Structure formats: structure tokens, C-alpha cells
């Protein structure tokens, strides 16, 4: 019996060890896939916010940027953890979210992570959920939701676009025209909106006023919450240096209490760069083409377009003239397709154009290209109005004269015959005179 008891004790000990081993493995498995419980507190702009279900709703305005500060602490260690905040349900590509870098969380240690979110000015006024999430590589994430009421300011204008003319660059001494596209994102109609455009580096500016702009999503059928300013004119100083300049747009409204600012960039070509390029072929070649449109009658020999090339450079230059884009016509270029123009001289080239029989009646076009070397100096689109041939008045008159002459000859012949027959008949019928004897 004693031996049996010892054997049973050994078996019980072995079973206990095995059970502890299995429990340990299971506990480790459960721990590796456990639900994270780490979010202790969330603050927005320094104020603690409560979760959904506590009847707490935080009001924010569109266009507002705010910080979300998250306090996290876990009962067990987490590797490669991240804290994320997001707002979903916004129907555009610019997402409203931010996420922290990865970090290791030690058990029982408190961490603070600050995230930054910006509410787009065009998002709908409505209720949204701010979702705060903590996750790592292996465990089930923890998510908490907070209700946000997104509203808009009473006075809020948005500069939608700045349009410059010329768009990319302008020469010193020339004018720059600016139009500004505005949208009212606020709850109130705005009046006497001042739009100011300036280039601070040059000390120049100009302004314009917009009388009124309706509130966003106004109920009246005829209202409009967007508008574009008139062209605002600024003259670039002649002595402006070459470079990229900031064009600043300021919009003042609500009796000057509110202001919006946006910038654009324009490149100015100064006198020194213009002078450096003044010897180039483009700057020193004057090209005149005319007329731009002519009538061409099929089969009538065509018309001539004149091209004048003036070379004001200090050396002679060679120009190549070509036509293209027209299978409806035949072309000839006189005196030659390649023209050499001496310094300070001009040369005229004649482009003869005749319509083919297959040409479509009506307006047709072709391209005249002038090159110097590999560089195209100018391409001109010219037009021709192709008309069907008509019988000319001279041809009609000529035909009528020919017919008339033929008829006249016939009449003369007939008249001659009649006169001849008449004389012949008269001579046959005339009586002979009796001979008389005189004593």
C-alpha cells in the first residue's frame, strides 16, 4: 500500500507541474493578444473632454486648428505602440487625422502624446465623432469616441484663388493684373469688402471694393456666396531686379475687424536680363504677316499673302519659311523658302496659295512658320475662304458677241442674196425702147 501511495503522489506532482506549465502558456498567449486599456484622459486645447454617452458635446469652428493631448498608461508592457486621433465622415481628400511616432510603453508608466488636427473650412456644419485610438503591433486596440459639434463663425471669408495676369512672369515696367476669388463661409452677409493686392518687396499696392457677399448656403434663390473681384492693376517699377516676388492679398471685412491673407508668387524679369537677351534672334526680329484671311476661287490662280521679316540685329541672319496643316491647297514661296536678311534690313516673302479642286468650300486654314536655326520665331495661323468658280461677265459677253456676230453675218448674206435676186429679176422684166426715125 505504501508503494502505491508514493506512486500516486509522484503522479499528482507530475500532473500539477504539467498543469502549471499549460496554464502559463495559456496565460502568456492571452497576454499577448489582450485588450489594451491605456487611454486615461483626453484634452482638447487644454480642456478635458468626456466620452460619448455623458451628454458632453464640444463645439468647434470650421477652419480651427487644435491640439489633442492624450494621457496613456497600461497595466502591461506594450511594444511599438501608437496613439492616433481622427475625424471621419468628411467628404474630401484632405483627411482629418494625426498619429504619434511608435514608442514602447512600460507597465504602470504614464505617457502623454500630443496630436494636432485642423478642421477644413469647407466641411459641413454637423456633428462628428473624434476617435482616439491606442494600438500596438500585437494586441487588440482601444478606441474611445468624443462628440464634436462643428459650427462656423458669424463672419468668415475664404480666399479661394488668386489669378495673376500674366500668370507666371512679367517684365519690369509692365502691368500686373490680379483678380481674387472669395467665398463667404460665415453666417452673415458681408458688405464693403476691401481687397488689397501688394508686392511688399517693391513697395507697390492697389485696392478694390466688393459691395456685398451673401452668407453661405443662403435660402434666397438669387443669392450667391462666392464672387470674383475686378482686375486690380499694379505697374511693376522699371528698375525692379530679376527674381521671384511674393504677391500678398489681404481681404478686410466686418468693418475692418476681420482680415484674411493669402500669397502668390510672380517672377519679374528686370532690365538687366532683358538687355542680356536683347541680342537674341527673337528680340531682334520683327515679323509682320498679312492679310490674315482672303477669298480664294477654285481654278482662279490663287492669292498671295505677304510676309515681312525685319532684322534689327547687328549681324545678318538666315530664316526658313514653311507652310503646313493644309492638304486643301497648293503653296509656293517666292523668292525662296530660305531667306538671308542683312543687319538692319528687311525682306518680303510672297506666299502664293491656290485651292485644289478637292478643297471644301468655306473657311479653311493653314500655318505659316518662321524659324531661325533650330528655334521657331513665330507660327501664324492664316485663313482662306474657298469659293466655287462662277462664270465671269466677260465670258458671257464674249459668248454673246460671238453669237451676235454669227447672226449678223447670216443676216448680211441673206440680205445680199435678196438684193441680188431683186436686181436680176428687174433687168429681165425691163421693156426695150422702140427705135424712132427722124426726118
Q: Which residues pair with 73 in a beta bridge?
A: 110
Residue identified by cell 504677316 is 289
> Domains (ranges, CATH) in the chain?
39-151 (2.70.50.60), 157-275 (2.60.40.10), 281-387 (2.60.40.10)
Give the pLDDT score at 436: 47
* Backbone φ, ψ for residue 324 (5° rounding): -165, 175
Q: Which residues pair with 340 in a beta bridge?
A: 318
Cis, peptide link before residue 335, omega less than 30° from 0: yes
* Spatial separation of the C-alpha atoms in residues 269 and 77, rounded to whole Å: 63
Cell of 313: 540685329
Give the pLDDT score at 258: 85
Cis, peptide link before residue 236, omega less than 30° from 0: no
Please compute Rg for the chain using Cα positions.
48
Give the pLDDT score at 195: 93
88-118 tens-digit pLDDT: 877 677 788 899 999 999 999 999 999 998 8
Positions of the chain with pLDDT under 50: 1-2, 4, 25-31, 54-55, 278-282, 434-439
Give the pLDDT score at 55: 43
Other Cβ atoms within 10 Å of 245 Cβ, number? 20
337-386 tens-digit pLDDT: 999 998 888 889 999 998 888 888 888 888 999 998 888 888 888 888 88
Among 377, 384, 386, CA closest to 292: 384
> Can you give the chain as a three-state secondary structure string?
CHHHHHHHHHHHHHHHHHHHHHHHHHHHHHHHCCECCCEEEEEECCEECCCCCCCCCEEEECCCEEEEEEEEECCCCEEEEEEEEEECCCCCCCCEEEECCCEEECCCCEEEEEEEEECCCCCCCEEEEEEEEEECCCCECEEEEEEEEEECCCCCEEEEEEEEECCCEEECCCEEEEEEEEEECCCCCEEEEEEEEEECCCCEEEEEEEEEECCCCCCCCCCCCEEECCCEEEECCCCCCCEEEEEEEEEEECCCCEEEEEEEEEEEECHHHHHHCCCCHHHHEEEEEECCEEEEECCCCCEEEEEEEEECCCCCEEEEEEEECCCCEEEEEECCCEEEECCCCEEEEEEEEEECCCCCCEEEEEEEEEEECCEEEEEEEEEEEEECCCCCHHHHHHHHHHHHHHHHHHHHHHHHHHHHHHHHHHHHHCCCCCCCCCC
Amino acid at each position: 500500500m505504501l508503494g502505491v501511495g508514493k506512486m500516486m503522489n509522484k503522479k499528482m506532482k507530475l500532473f500539477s507541474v504539467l498543469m502549471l506549465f499549460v496554464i502559463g502558456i495559456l496565460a502568456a498567449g492571452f497576454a499577448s493578444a489582450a485588450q489594451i486599456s491605456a487611454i486615461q484622459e483626453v484634452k482638447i486645447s487644454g480642456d478635458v473632454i468626456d466620452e460619448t454617452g455623458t451628454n458632453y458635446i464640444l463645439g468647434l469652428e470650421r477652419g480651427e486648428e487644435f491640439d489633442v493631448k492624450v494621457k496613456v498608461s497600461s497595466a502591461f508592457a506594450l511594444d511599438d505602440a501608437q496613439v492616433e486621433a481622427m475625424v471621419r465622415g468628411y467628404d474630401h481628400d484632405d483627411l482629418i487625422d494625426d498619429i504619434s511616432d511608435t514608442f514602447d510603453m512600460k507597465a504602470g508608466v504614464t505617457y502623454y502624446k500630443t496630436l494636432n488636427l485642423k478642421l477644413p473650412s469647407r466641411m459641413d456644419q454637423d456633428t462628428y465623432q473624434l476617435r482616439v485610438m491606442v494600438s500596438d503591433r500585437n494586441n487588440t486596440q482601444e478606441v474611445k469616441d468624443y462628440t464634436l459639434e462643428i459650427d462656423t463663425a458669424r463672419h468668415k471669408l475664404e480666399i479661394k484663388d488668386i489669378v495673376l495676369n500674366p500668370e507666371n512672369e512679367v517684365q519690369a515696367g509692365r502691368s500686373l493684373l490680379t483678380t481674387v476669388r472669395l467665398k463667404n463661409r460665415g453666417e452673415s452677409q458681408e458688405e464693403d469688402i476691401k481687397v488689397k493686392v501688394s508686392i511688399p518687396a517693391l513697395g507697390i499696392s492697389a485696392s478694390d471694393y466688393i459691395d456685398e457677399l451673401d452668407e453661405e448656403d443662403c435660402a434666397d434663390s438669387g443669392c450667391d456666396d462666392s464672387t470674383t473681384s475686378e482686375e486690380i492693376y499694379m505697374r511693376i517699377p522699371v528698375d525692379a531686379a530679376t527674381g521671384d516676388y511674393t504677391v500678398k492679398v489681404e481681404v478686410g471685412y466686418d468693418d475692418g475687424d476681420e482680415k484674411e491673407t493669402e500669397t502668390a508668387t510672380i517672377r519679374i524679369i528686370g532690365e538687366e536680363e532683358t538687355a542680356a537677351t536683347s541680342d537674341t534672334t527673337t528680340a531682334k526680329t520683327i515679323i509682320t504677316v498679312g492679310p490674315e484671311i482672303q477669298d480664294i476661287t477654285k481654278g482662279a490662280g490663287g492669292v498671295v499673302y505677304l510676309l515681312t521679316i525685319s532684322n534689327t540685329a547687328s549681324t545678318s541672319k538666315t530664316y526658313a519659311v514653311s507652310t503646313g496643316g493644309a492638304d486643301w491647297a497648293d503653296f509656293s514661296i517666292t523668292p525662296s523658302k530660305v531667306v538671308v536678311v542683312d543687319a538692319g534690313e528687311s525682306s518680303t516673302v510672297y506666299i502664293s496659295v491656290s485651292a485644289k479642286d478637292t478643297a471644301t468650300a468655306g473657311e479653311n486654314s493653314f500655318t505659316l512658320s518662321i524659324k531661325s536655326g533650330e528655334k521657331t520665331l513665330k507660327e501664324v495661323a492664316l485663313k482662306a475662304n474657298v469659293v466655287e468658280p462662277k462664270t465671269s461677265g466677260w465670258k458671257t459677253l464674249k459668248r454673246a458677241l460671238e453669237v451676235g456676230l454669227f447672226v449678223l453675218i447670216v443676216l448680211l448674206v441673206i440680205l445680199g442674196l435678196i438684193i441680188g435676186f431683186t436686181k436680176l429679176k428687174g433687168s429681165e422684166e425691163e421693156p426695150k425702147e422702140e427705135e424712132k426715125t427722124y426726118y
